[in-house]
Structure formats: structure tokens, C-alpha cells
Structure 1
Amino acid sequence: MRDQSTRPTRRGVLFGGAAVAAGALATACTSNNEKDDPAPAAQTGALGGDNDKPGKQVTIGFSAPAADHGWTAAIAKNAEAQAKRYKDVTFKPVQPTNDINQQISAVESLISEKVNVLVMLPNDGEQLNQVARKAMDAGIPVINLDRVFPDKLSYRTWIGGDNYGMGVSAGHYIGKKLKTKGVSNPVIVEIQGIATLPLTQERSKGFADALKSYGYSVTAKQDAKFTVETGNQVASNLLQAHKKIDALWNHDDDQGVGVLAAIKQSGRKEFFMVGGAGSANAMREIKAGNGVLEATVTYPPTMAASAVRLARLLAQGKGMADLVELEPPQSVTLASETVTRDNVSRYLPLGFES
């Protein structure tokens, strides 16, 4: 989820903000009814409609980075769980790796096996662009997951999250609450992922733009490298530097484990916090309601489940049930939803473990 220099605005699963239309992926989404059973279907989408009836047997190849981060691990789990729901799908994942050359070799093996469709989350879109193009040239449609390939001829469909939208969602939550409380000149702290990455810069810009609409701005920000350890260190430093804080936005719930640990150790409770990505542990913290974390904004790893569904439709020559067009769209941008104590029960089954 994290480290790709060319990827477009980027963890929801409710395709309300999808580029194609509000209901475009309705058949790929789980129900929002709290009375529904949130068992495995909540993670992979409830089957239903003509598109989900058994069709032509297809083989879907899958390649992703190593599961060394909660969000990345959830990507692989969502893809595999979705594929298992179809009797007409053979799922062929290759060994996950953070080594560019190993991922290239793994994808080349899938091309040699002539899979029908390839779902691919590249370690780096630019460096994996050529092998994706090789698949496309071989007649294998590529579903480009999250980290975009620079050459549009290297993928059939891109699906991913909205980084700028994450910042906007966090900014509106913080701005509205502070404005309602009548706070002027608030101290607003931002803990980024990796400051040099475009995805981080997009999140920060969305955050700043949303805060500006309330007359606010970020007081201090520092990056925490998407790790628990650095999140803990950065949060400790910011807490020491600012004796009073009104609000804090942390870009990533995985590094947020360290951020929350530092806050709890400090005993500080005068501010509220918004997380980012939508991890299950963050949602449980929100649901408990006894800490500073009040909300998180999603960047759903369930995009991998939707990518598998799109791959199956492409291989079977089907369109999307709620669209007039005969084939799936070229790109789908997922909405960044705001999860609070009021709606956390709906989102918790979709959360990933950090």
C-alpha cells in the first residue's frame, strides 16, 4: 500500500466514489446492513446476479509483494478468498516477494503457463511495466492493482484507492469537529508515511485542502516510514514538542500501532486522533471508545477481491451488471470512507489485521 512513485491517487469497499458510477460495483460489494451475517462474505463480496452464475472455466494468475505489512497481507488474503467463491475459477498465485527481479520472473512463469488473466500488485509500477506489457502483448489482460504501470498499454484495467481522498476525509472530520467546538488556531499534527512518496504527498495535500475550507492548517508534520517502531518514535517526539495538541492525523493504521502506544504511554488525552487505511485493530479501538482514536479513513485491501471479480468477467467476456457498457471499465478509484464509532460495526468485518 505504500511505496510506489508513479501510482495515482490512492485503503471503501463500498464503491460509492468509484470513477465509473456510484453503483458500478454493487455486485462486488458486501451488504451494509448490520443485520447481515458478516462472515467470510463480508470480506469477499456477496455472490449474486447473473454474472455470478457458473460460466467458462478461467485461470487467474496473481502476483503481489511479500506480506510484511498488514495491508499487503490482506491484499493476498482477499484475492484468494474471492477466487475460492467461484467454481469456474482456478487461482494461480506465485510466491510473494519484495525483490523486483523475482517478481518479474514469477510473472513470466504465469505468462508461460498462459493464464487467462493476470492480477498484479507490482512492487514498483515502473520497474514491472515491461513484464506487464509482455503479458498484454501475449493476449493476457492485466488487472493493475493499486500501483499503476506508467504505460497504459501494460494493463487492461486499473483498480485502486484514493490517496487525496484519504486526506480530504481526515481533514473534514477534524475540521468539522474543531469548528463545531469553536476552536480557533488549533494545533493540528500530521504523521505521514514516507514523506518523499507521491502517495504521501497526495494524502497531505488532500488533508491541507480540506482543513483550509475551515480556516485551519497543519501545525507540524513528520513521516514515520510506515513502521510501528518509527510511528512510536515520531509520535513521542511530537508529543514532547507540543505540550498541547487539538487533533492528530496518522496516515497509516499499521504505523498507528506505534503511535497509539506512544500516546498511551504519555497519558495525554487532550486531543483526538484520526487514523488511516482501516485496520481491524484501529476499528476495535474506535469501537471501545476509551482512547483518543475516534476515526479512521479507509484505503481498502478488499480492492484485491474486486480485482479478481473483474478478472473473471474479462476472461468470460462479461460486462458489469449495473453498467450499460459490454465490458468492465478501464479504471476504478475506490472511495475513502470515514469510519467512526457510529458506523464501525459495518466496517469492522472489512478491516485487516496489523
Structure 2
Amino acid sequence: MRASRTRRHVVIAAGAALAVTGLITGCTAGDTGTSSQPTNNTDNEASGDKVVIGFSGPAADHGWLGAINSAALAEAAKYDDIELKVAEGTNDANLQISQIETFINDKVDAIVLLPTDGAALTGAAIKAMEAGIPVVNVDREFSSPFAARVTVLGDNYGMGVSAGTYICEEFGGTDAVVAEIAGIDSLPLTQDRSRGFADALEDCGLEVNNRVAADFTVAGGEAAASQLLAAAPKIDALWNHDDDQGVGVLAALDAAGRSEMVMVGGAGSKNAMEAIKADDGVLKATIIYPSTQAADGIRLARLLVQNKALGDLVEVDVPNRIVLYAPVVTKDNVDQYLPTAFTS
């Protein structure tokens, strides 16, 4: 029998929808402030001075990254005062570094960057900041606080907490077998998701019994799931970090005739949400990882260059760090999230 229980301190620790950290004070290598005082402008949609923004991201080799790119382009197109220079998507860190150097040479007003590897792109981002070009870092963090003026992140640790919380509410107080299919293990975001998942499970006496890693792709998800199923003859609950690779995970489950488990997805794809709404398979929930991050980055870059702030805050500067919420989507609330879902 599944036990339902009220979550306590773990949920409190991860429940903030918007985490805002104050600006780094003092003189830094990344100081791109202007001489005039920013204004808390409640009419930020009004057209202002022209802003040239350089945008660079990884290759759109799965649905979430495709949605990231298309949302950024669509957001820029809403404003007649934005000129967007888009670099070709790449998974080659050296090529992306050269793209940032090109933006610097072109003297763009701001750069929005989703790095293929945050550590590898840190030096190039610092160079842009030192050239007086504010950098908005999206999704994968740099390894230095001086590499970005603003960082926009999904809540990776919070995703793990949300997934673990859901499973605890279903299986807490039992000896359920819990499995995990992670993304790319070398990425800090994957490590954060796994850490949050383990912390939430520990709070209700569960643990990860079987774990494999994939690569955020359909083929990778299918291969990893097949490996997992061969090693685990029984699974009660499965968290798959990413709905794109989840297409392959579900294919492997179907091929193996494994339907005994409750599966939780991650990211929030349209096909995952439609399966949750239909409620006729193992997938019962997914955890949102917003595909709006680069679009948010475009908006924030515009505000920075135009010396404006967020109209709904009393603070007169754009925040240094914004962490987006990681809610659980189930059949009870899926209609709320379907309109913003991406297609795998």
C-alpha cells in the first residue's frame, strides 16, 4: 500500500519560485555598470534605445534545447528595439569561445549565453565582461562570479527534490525499490538533480537502489533504460531526469513489458504531459525545467542595456541571479502547464 505523507524541511528549502541574490558589491573585473542611476521602470515594454544582443547556445540536438532557441528568437522579435545576432548552435566549446570573441569584436551591447560547458566558456565570458559587455548566463553556470552580470537558472537541485517528494508521497514508509536514469553525469546540473533526489528520498526513508546515466537523447535514454531493466528485475518508482530521453526510456519499458512502476519525468515536454493527462501508462508526473530561460535572458539583457530594472521589484537594479521554480505536473494540474510545454 502506498503511503501519503506531508513533506517537511526539504520542501521548504527548495520551494522558492524566484531566488534573487543581491549584486556583488565593490570593484570587480566584471563591473559593467553605467554612470547613471538605473530606474525601476513600470513601463518596460515601451520601445527604447536600440539594443544589439549576441546569442549563443549549444546545438539543438533535442527538444528542450530547440525550445530554448526558438523561445529566445521569438522573444527578441517582440521588441522593435532589439537587434539579435544569433551564432550557430554548437556542442564544440572552442567554437563557442570564438563566437563570443566575434561578439566582442562586433561590440554588441550584451551577450546571452547558454554555454555548452560552463567551465570551458568562463574565460571568454570574463573577457566580454571586461570589455564592458554584460553577459547573461543561462542554464549552465560559469565557474567564476565575474563571468556574468546575470545568471538565469532552472532549479536543478529543486527538480530532484520535487521528484523525490512525489515518490515519497507515493511510497514513503514502504521498502519500495527506487531507480534513477540521470542525464549527462559530468554536468553540474545532473549532479545537482541527483543530489536533490537523494536528499528528498532520505527524508522519508527511501534511497536510490539502481542508477544509470544517459545523455538527454532518445537513443541514449533507450540504451540506459535497457541496461537498468536488465540489472533491476523489480522497480517500484523510476525518476528519469529528462523527457526527451524519456521517449527512449518509455520505448525500452514497453519492449521489456515492464509496467509495474510509477515513472516521473523531467523538463516538461508536451508528449510527456499528454501521456500524464491520458493516465494510461507508467508515466504519472514530470518536473518542470523551464525552456524559457534564454527568452528571459533576452529580456534581462535588454533591461540592462537600457538601464532599467524589473518593474515588479522595489530594487532598482536587475537581480544578479534568478532561479526558476521546479513544480510537479500531474494529471490534476497538467492543463495549467500544457500551453508552455515543448515538443520532444
- Kindly provide the CA deviation profile for residues 101-121 of structure 1, in whole angstroms up to 9, marking residues without a partner as x: 221222222222211111011
Question: What is the letter of the counterpart of residue 334 of structure 1?
Answer: L
Map of 2:166 onto structure 1: 173
Map of 1:332 onto structure 2: 322
Residues 311 and 196 (structure 1), Cα distance of their counterparts in 2 relative to 1, 3 Å cut:
closer
* Residues 137-216 of structure 1: pairs in structure 2 closer than 5 A: 137-179=130-172, 184-216=174-206
3-state SS of paired residue (2:85): strand
Report the Cα distance in structure 2 between the residues aligned to 1:129 and 1:237, rounded to whole angstroms: 35
Q: 2:110 aligned with 1:120, yes or no?
A: no
Map of 1:62 onto structure 2: 55
Report the Cα distance in structure 1 between the residues aligned to 2:163 and 2:80, rounded to whole angstroms: 40
Report the Cα distance in structure 2 between the residues aligned to 1:105 and 1:148, rounded to whole angstroms: 19
3-state SS of paired residue (2:61): coil
Report the Cα distance in structure 2 between the residues aligned to 1:165 and 1:214, rounded to whole angstroms: 17
Asked if 1 retains the 8 angstrom alpha-carbon contact of 2:154 and 2:290, the reply is yes
Question: What is the letter of the counterpart of residue 192 of structure 1?
Answer: A
- Please state how far the C-alpha of 1:16 moved relative to its aligned partner: 5.2
Alignment TM-score, normalising by the size of structure 2? 0.86
Which ranges in structure 1 are unaligned for 5 or more consecutive residues?
A: 1-14, 22-47
Map of 1:5 onto structure 2: none
Report the Cα distance in structure 2 between the residues aligned to 1:17 and 1:215, rounded to whole angstroms: 27
In the alignment of these two chains, the number of paired residues is 311
Map of 2:217 onto structure 1: 227
Q: Percent identity among equivalent residues?
A: 54
Moved over 4 A (4+): none
Q: 2:249 aligned with 1:249, yes or no?
A: no
Map of 2:10 onto structure 1: none
- Please state how far the C-alpha of 1:287 moved relative to its aligned partner: 1.5
Residues 86 and 171 (structure 1), Cα distance of their counterparts in 2 relative to 1, 3 Å cut:
same
Map of 1:18 onto structure 2: 18
- Please state how far the C-alpha of 1:49 moved relative to its aligned partner: 5.2
Report the Cα distance in structure 1 between the residues aligned to 2:189 and 2:278, rounded to whole angstroms: 30
3-state SS of paired residue (1:52): coil
Q: 2:306 aligned with 1:313, yes or no?
A: no
Select the residue among 96, 100, 106 that pairs with 1:107: 100
Which ranges in structure 2 are unaligned for 5 or more consecutive residues?
A: 1-14, 22-40
* Residues 70-81 of structure 1: pairs in structure 2 closer than 5 A: 70-81=63-74
- Kindly provide the CA deviation profile for residues 99-146 of structure 1, in whole angstroms up to 9, marking residues without a partner as x: 222212222222222111110111122222222122111211110112
Map of 2:331 onto structure 1: 341
3-state SS of paired residue (1:219): strand
Alignment TM-score, normalising by the size of structure 1? 0.83
Report the Cα distance in structure 1 between the residues aligned to 2:264 and 2:86, rounded to whole angstroms: 35
